[in-house]
Amino acid sequence: MRVEAAQADIAGLLRPLSKADIFARPASAVLAGARRLEAGFYGSEGYRALRTMENSGFVKQRIVEVAKVFWPGIFSRRYVDDPSAGVPFVSSSGMLNARLERKSYLSRTLTLQLDSLMATEGTILVSRSGTIGSVAICTKDYDGFAISDDAIRVTPVEEIDRGVIYVFLLSELGRFLVTRQKSGSVIEHLYAEDIENLTIPKFPKRLCEALSKNIAKASDLRVRANGLLADAEAAVQIASARVASVGAGTSFFVQPASAVQRAREYEGYSRLDATYYNPQVLALRAQASEAGGQALVKSAPGIKLIGKTFVEGVHKVDREYGVPYFTGKELFKTRPVPETFITSEQRASIDKLLVRRGTTLVTCAGTVGKVMYVRGSLEGCAITHDAIRVLPGAGIHPGYVYAYLASPGGQAELKRCSYGSVIPRLYRTHIENVIIPKAKDGGAEIGRLVDEAFDLRQEALETENAGIELFLQCLSKGRLVTEGEWGMEY
């Protein structure tokens, strides 16, 4: 009896962590398709969505029939340091970010066929190398940027087809069909032909118009959000002329030994790296202090660096059994949709990772100093331990804290403190000692701009998700029901 009871207890513990689907597929499904033998392929949501499309009764058409699919080919990247001599360059991973970064510049004179690399508003981008099938759409924010050759360009011939193509590629169906086209034993790749030959349903005209308006609205919301964030950062910034020159060119300067000793007092050890003593950043900090600014920890005392995420007892599980978990890279995507879910019998191991509204996150390992604000889709989610938490304080609007840390001045202060010869890092005290400018209203006016921007981002995500859901619902209902709702004009 004791053995049976123990077995029952073990089964009870394992049941929430496991899921099994039993189904049968005929041999013809294997032979007529991708000739895959693993069960997960035929049990995935994408495969089921494919079967739904095949049985929906809609006419199928290849993407090449309604869009131009273009891949510029591999090109030699010639970078320049002077922005006036180049164009900002976006990698296949960078194109997924909510805000594009002007970090790398391609030479205007040394880059062959540069015009073919430039972004065009409305173009749909599909990553083709390494990470396969990630999708982005070029908004007005992409104007003037060159796009990596690791992205295939899809440009609808008619505006009316843009929404259908985009939501198809974002959906489980599209991701399933795209990723099964990949090839390569070491680094996987896609090619333009793989996208051209994908089949999509031909929907009624009114439905296509609705989907395209949906995507246009989401794009406009994101552009507006980025504009508000830029306004907030500009408003919070002090000594803009001084900050603009931080990090430009090479600075030569001498620091007395007493400065090194003072660093020991703050850090607990001597700092000999030149960036720590950058005169421009030190002057920026001094000016902020003279104007009434103070260390961030005095306004927001809750600044936390937590322990590792995956300690003993914390496990990755299926979506329905766990808490959404975001890595440092996923935090900054246009579509912050978690791909990992975690759980633990020790609730404290999960609770320490959860974040609440108004928290500012600062990446502290690898790529350091990137800043994200918790509002909307990140609320209540688990966030990697490689992000220091700045909790909302009573004396200052949390949006103001985010705006300053994301501004050129805040970034200069954060990156001044990074340390490590291989993997750069920031520590909690580095965030605590950032001198944040004084705001007469406690930063409320600027903070409201930040709140509004992130509310617009959330609205854009929900709008886009509604378009994807509408697409899948119409496939599930089938052609006759859909035509009854949206008309028979094509």
Phi, psi of 114 (to 5 degrees): -60, -35
Cα 175 to Cα 47, 139, 182, 428, 454, distances in angstroms: 10, 22, 11, 39, 27
What is residue 247's predicted lDDT score, i.e. its pLDDT? Answer: 47
Phi, psi of 313 (to 5 degrees): 100, -10
Residues 348 and 351: their CA atoms lie apart, in Å, by 5
Residue 262 burial by Cβ neighbours in a 10 Å radius (0-12, 13-18, 19+) = middle
| SS3 label, residue 218 | helix
Query: Contact 21/43 with Cβ under 8 angstroms?
Result: yes
| SS3 label, residue 7 | helix
Over 70: is that where the pLDDT of 29 sits?
no
Give the CA count within 13 Å in the CB-facing half-sphere of 314.
19
Residue-wise pLDDT for 169-190, tens only, equals 999 998 988 888 777 767 788 9
Q: Can you give the pTM of this predicted structure?
A: 0.87
Over 60: is that where the pLDDT of 243 sits?
no
Q: Pairing state of beta strands 151-156 and 67-70? A: antiparallel
Over 80: is that where the pLDDT of 192 sits?
yes
Task: Tell which wins on pLDDT, 250 or 431.
Answer: 431
In eight-state DSSP terms, residue 319 is: G
What is residue 421's predicted lDDT score, i.e. its pLDDT? Answer: 81
Residue type, 192: A
Query: Contact 156/133 with Cβ under 8 angstroms?
Result: no
Structure-token pair, residue 243 = 């900050």
What is residue 69's predicted lDDT score, i.e. its pLDDT? Answer: 97
In 103-171, alpha helices (H):
162-170
Residues 93 and 329: their CA atoms lie apart, in Å, by 9
In Å, how far from its chain's centre is CA 383? Answer: 13
Residue-wise pLDDT for 56-96, tens only, equals 999 999 999 999 999 999 999 999 999 999 999 999 999 99
Q: Which of 363, 361, 360, 317 is closest to 341 using CA atoms? A: 317
List domains and CATH numbers for the chain.
Answer: 62-201 (3.90.220.20), 238-446 (3.90.220.20)
Query: Contact 304/66 with Cβ under 8 angstroms?
Result: no
What is residue 240's predicted lDDT score, i.e. its pLDDT? Answer: 42
